[in-house]
Structure 1
Amino acid sequence: MIVRLHLDKDDELAQHLTNRLNSPLDWPEGGDLDTEHVARIAAAAACEVSYDHAANGHLVDLFAALPLPDTSEGREFWTSLSLAGGDAASNIDPGNAGGPFFDRLLDGNETGIAGRVLSFLEELNDDEHNAVADVIGAALDLLGGARYLGKLWLRDAETTAWHVVLASRRQYDTAEDRERFLQAWRNA
Structure 2
Amino acid sequence: MIVRRYPNEDDELAQHLTDQLNTPLDRPESGELNTGHIASIAAATACDVAYDQAANGHLVDLFAALPLPGTPEGREFWASLGEAGGQAAWNIVPANAGGPFFDYLLNGNEGGIAFRVLSFVGELDDERRAAVAEVIGDALKDTFVGGGARYLGKLWLRDAENSAWHVMLASRRKQETREDRERFLDAWGNA
TM-score, scaled relative to structure 2? 0.79
1:100 aligns with 2:103: no
Q: How many residues align?
A: 162
**Cα offset, 1:180, TM superposition:** 1.2
Letter in 1 for 2:140: L
What residue is the counterpart of 1:110 in the other structure? 110
Q: Which moved more, 1:140-149 or 1:86-95?
A: 140-149
1:165 aligns with 2:174: no
What residue is the counterpart of 2:129 in the other structure? 129
**Cα offset, 1:126, TM superposition:** 1.4
Q: Moved runs in structure 1, 4+ residues, more than 3 A?
A: none
C-alpha separation in 2, matches of 1:112 and 1:128: 23
Letter in 2 for 1:169: R
Unaligned 5+ residue runs, structure 1?
1-11, 21-30
**Cα offset, 1:32, TM superposition:** 4.2
Q: Which moved more, 1:35-44 or 1:69-78?
A: 35-44
Higher relative contact order, structure no. (Cα contacts within 8 Å, ≥ 6 residues apart): 1
Unaligned 5+ residue runs, structure 2?
7-30
C-alpha separation in 2, matches of 1:130 and 1:34: 55
> Could you give the per-residue CA deviations for residues 90-143 of structure 1, whole angstroms, max 9, x where no partner exists?
000011003221111010010000000000011111111110000000000123
Paired residues for 1:36-51 under 5 Å: 36-51=36-51
CA RMSD across the alignment:
1.9
> Could you give the per-residue CA deviations for residues 10-65 of structure 1, whole angstroms, max 9, x where no partner exists?
xx49xx8xxx9xxxxxxxxxx94322222222332233211011000001100011
- Percent identity between matched residues is 71
C-alpha separation in 2, matches of 1:187 and 1:163: 28
**Cα offset, 1:144, TM superposition:** 4.7
What residue is the counterpart of 2:53 in the other structure? 53
Letter in 1 for 2:67: P
